[in-house]
Amino acid sequence: MDPVTHGLIGATASQSFAKKETLRAAAFTGFVSATLADLDVFLFSTTDPLLNLELHRQFTHSLIFIPIGALFATALIWWFVKKHLTLKQTYFFSLAGYATAGMADYLTSYGVHLLWPFVDERYSLNIISVFDPLFTLGIIVCTGIAFWKRDKLFSRIALGWVVLYLIFGFSQKQKAINIAEEMATQNDQSIDRIDVKPTIANQLVWSVRYENQDTLHAYGIRLFPFSDPIIYEGETAPLLDWRNEFNSFNGTILYKDIERFSKLSNGFLIKHPGHENVIGDARYSMLPTTLSPLWGIEIDTTRPDQHVDFGTYRDASPEIRQTFMDMLFGRKLR
């Protein structure tokens, strides 16, 4: 989730427990503490590009790290709020704010290591985009009024907005899954695995990827309340059998890096259609109907004992943007 929304959710959570005289300081504490977990983006290696991907949303977002993260937040924030809050209050509001960080990212895609270090698995609900302006706007309005009037009633209204919006997202996702299952049945296919998530900045157009017999199928589904769904049929591509293709490199750094990237991509690996020697994460593309990954690793078999390069491959051309807007407004694609 974007840093601003992270902070606003943290501020809302802290405000909800504050008294009128401490509400503003509590909001500030919650806002800052909720954003600290994402400082893990600065943990990287100049020689190992995948390390940053592995550490992002890892220990700083785990449930067991919440009290420790709140402690760091308290040490940072207390010097700014000590005229308004005691050290104990500062820790309490930092705890409330920091606790929202991992849970907020859990609602989006890509996944969070909530149970690190006990379980090495990423969890995600995929019910809201990492950036959703309507969701954020509702929190800004309610939390802003609460801050201005020093009235935590509006903080609780903000929490109500968050819950209702997420329930709507969960409902939309279930509808998309049901439609995908119906499409697979109509095509005499079984679904071996499925990945469903909202597209960027909205809850109306959903991205569907499902696997059938080692082939990935992509669809876009527009779900507008009280209207019939619109299905945009997309591309298909074979999933990469990387273990077989790169078996001769087993034991090398190259092989281990492909294995690491496969784990980060939940096994949805394909060859990038527009970039030779690039293996991409097939779950993410500019359009829900295309299988041109937004990021991937470049394979150089002449350097098996060196780490792979990681790159991004975004195409925000006018044609791509227009196609996305056509989907968003339920138009026929050109």
Return the domain boundaries, the chain.
3-168, 189-334
**Predicted confidence band of residue 134 (pLDDT cuts 50, 70, 90):** very high
Q: What is the pLDDT of residue 263?
A: 96
Q: What is the pLDDT of residue 209?
A: 98
Best CA proximity match to 332, nearest among 222, 249, 254, 223:
222
Q: What share of the chain is helix, strand, coil (3-state, %, to 5)?
A: 50, 15, 35
How many residues appear in the chain?
Answer: 334
Q: What is the pLDDT of residue 110?
A: 87
Q: What is the mean pLDDT of residues 118-139?
A: 96
pLDDT tops 80 at residue 334: no
Q: What is the mean pLDDT of residues 278-291?
A: 98
Helix (H, G, I), strand (E, B), or coil: what is residue 288?
Answer: coil
Q: What is the pLDDT of residue 48?
A: 97
Per cent of the chain over pLDDT 90 is 97
Q: What is the mean pLDDT of residues 64-93?
A: 97
Q: What is the pLDDT of residue 310?
A: 97
Q: Is the pTM higher than 0.85?
A: yes
Cα–Cα dist 103/7, whole Å = 13
Q: What is the pLDDT of residue 65?
A: 98
Q: What is the pLDDT of residue 114?
A: 97
Per cent of the chain over pLDDT 70 is 100
DSSP assigned state of 307: P
Q: What is the mean pLDDT of residues 232-241?
A: 98
DSSP assigned state of 214: T
